[in-house]
């Protein structure tokens, strides 16, 4: 429910460290409502351009909507500098490994559940490469996440020639292991994932009787939530955010 004008409202947002399941300590940006809770949790996985301002704003947006939200810096081990410089460095290294991202997200979910004001439910969301990671993590971490949102994740359907040492398995191969409900938000004009790839993804989810809902928006391409980029589509983005609040509210709410 949105805040009313006579209601107390507050949040804290800061950089912390969380422990990945691989034992490493990495930076993370947390935003959480003030108060005893209990609050549901959300883990955000940043997109290709990095652990940037957009993702920190999105983290605070989830806190505004009543979630303990954490966005770990998946590039923390790569180095430090401005977010775009570090992202470029990660790209030059072939990206971070899928195994590492799975460990980072699982560790972050555990951190949220350890908080005294957690309601013990945790969702996960990411866009672009973070959307791919979201689906992958939701498939490879049984019992960890209660809901997952894949926003236009490219390479969920990953052809053999696009596999790399860091990404050795197509996420689609794990579809049978998906362990929580999935919401997919896509643009019909996107090249990656293309509507054909989204259809292949959906086909596998149907085949394995998974709980999912996909929304493919007309007049939208890749990254249509990014208000600071040309692909931004106001009407589709606002509807997409509405779908996210409804989905997480139903599955993570108290």
Positions in the binding site for another protein (CB under 8 A): 47-50, 78-81, 84-89, 91-92, 94-95, 128-129, 132, 154-155, 162, 164, 166-167, 191-192, 221-223, 229-231
CB of 117 to another protein, least distance (A): 35
Q: How far is the CB of 198 from another protein (least distance, A)?
A: 15
Please state, in angstroms and as integers, the Cα–Cα distance from residue 108 to each residue in 94, 142, 180, 231, following that order.
Answer: 23, 15, 17, 30
d(CA 178, CA 144): 11
Write down the least CB distance from residue 187 to another protein, Å: 10
HSE of 191, CA atoms in CB hemisphere, 13 A:
1
CA angle 208, 41, 145 (to 5 degrees): 20
* Residue closer to another protein, measured from CB, 13 or 48: 48
**Could you tell me what percentage of the chain is helix, strand and coil, using 3-state DSSP and rounding each to the nearest 5?**
35, 20, 40
Look up residue 169 and give its DSSP letter: S
- Nearest distance in Å: CB 87, another protein: 7
Residue closer to another protein, measured from CB, 68 or 86: 86
Q: Which is nearer to another protein, 33 or 223 (CB)?
A: 223
**Least distance from another protein to the Cβ atom of residue 154, Å:** 4
CA–CA separation, 107 and 184 (whole Å)? 24
Q: Which is nearer to another protein, 77 or 113 (CB)?
A: 77
Contact between 102 and 55 under an 8 Å Cβ cutoff? The reply is no
Specify the residue, 176 or 229, whose C-beta has the smaller distance to another protein.
Answer: 229
């Amino acid at each position: 429910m949105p805040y009313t004008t006579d209601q107390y409202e507050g949040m804290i947002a800061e950089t912390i460290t969380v422990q990945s399941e691989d034992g490493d300590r990495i930076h993370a940006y947390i935003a959480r409502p003030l108060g005893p809770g209990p609050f549901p949790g959300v883990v955000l996985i940043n997109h290709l351009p990095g652990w940037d301002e957009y993702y920190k704003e999105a983290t605070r947006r989830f806190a505004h909507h009543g979630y303990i939200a954490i966005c770990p810096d998946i590039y923390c081990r790569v180095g430090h500098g401005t977010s775009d410089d570090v992202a470029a460095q990660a790209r030059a290294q072939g990206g971070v490994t899928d195994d590492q991202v799975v460990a980072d997200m699982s560790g972050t979910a555990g951190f949220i559940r350890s908080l005294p004001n957690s309601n013990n439910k945790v969702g996960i969301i990411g866009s672009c490469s973070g959307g791919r990671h979201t689906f992958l993590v939701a498939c490879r971490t049984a019992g960890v996440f209660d809901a997952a949102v894949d926003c236009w994740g490219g390479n969920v359907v990953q052809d053999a020639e696009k596999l790399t040492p860091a990404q050795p398995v197509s996420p689609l191969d794990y579809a049978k292991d998906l362990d929580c409900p999935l919401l997919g938000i896509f643009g019909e004009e996107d090249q990656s994932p293309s509507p054909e790839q989204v259809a292949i993804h959906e086909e596998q989810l149907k085949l394995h009787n998974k709980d999912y809902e996909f929304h493919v928006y007309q007049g939208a391409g890749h990254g249509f939530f990014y208000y600071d980029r040309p692909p931004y589509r106001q009407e589709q983005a606002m509807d997409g955010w509405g779908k996210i609040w409804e989905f997480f509210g139903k599955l993570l709410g108290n």
